Amino acid sequence: MERLPRKGGQASKGAVNSAQVIVVTHSESPVFRCFLKKAQEESVETRERLKKLDKILDKLRDSWVLAEGQRDRSALKGLGIGNVLTISGNLRASCGILGAKNVDKAYVLSDLDRRGDELAKRAGDELGSHSIRADIETRRMLAHLLRIRYFEDAKKAYDKLKEEMINEGEHDG
């Protein structure tokens, strides 16, 4: 152990340099252990969110989806969801297309704002008039997992979550 000078210029027995104190104090401190535990929990939480998201996205990739507008449609297509129709301003026409294709079920992914809620309800009613089951609950689950309100942000939010997972993997290994 290195001896550090005391007042008056003499080295004291058992003195340690500040780097050693920081390492020992830092790694054994309750604050550090709490921080480490929280980081590990967040890593598990991120992994679980991604698993749930991927399960939902797989389901949506094989289904018909109604989105509010073109930006929402583009973001969903960026996530690999291919069968997306827009409903803002053309709800009846989009539902008519699905009815003509004898679609059994469609997912409504309107934004989580007042307008989106109203549109989801109207879309559900319109789909019902074509004997198509409307899923308007998946939109809330998907938005919650992505932590978004507007589906135009879906691709960016998903990519950010994947990046967090990659970064956490680098820190774990």
Per residue in 54-65, pLDDT (tens digit) is 999 999 999 999
Q: How many domains does the chain have?
A: 1
Residue 105 banded pLDDT, cuts 50, 70, 90? very high
Distance spanning both ends of the chain, measured CA to CA? 31
Query: What's the pLDDT tens digit per position in 114-137?
Result: 999 999 999 999 999 999 999 999
| Partner residues linked to 11 by β-bridges | 5
Kindly state whether residue 134 falls inside one of the protein's structural domains.
yes
Does some domain include residue 14? no
- Give the mean model confidence (pLDDT) for residues 34-44: 61
Residue 68 lies in a domain: yes
Confidence of residue 21 (pLDDT cuts 50, 70, 90): very low
Tell me whether residue 125 is in a domain: yes
Boundaries of domain holding 67: 41-172
Q: Is residue 10 part of a domain?
A: no
- Residue 45 lies inside a defined structural domain of this protein: yes
The model carries a pTM of: 0.74
Q: What is the CATH number of the domain that holds 161?
A: 3.40.1360.10
In the prediction, which pLDDT does 24 show?
47
- Note whether residue 11 is domain-resident: no
Nearest CA among 161, 47, 58 for reference residue 107: 58
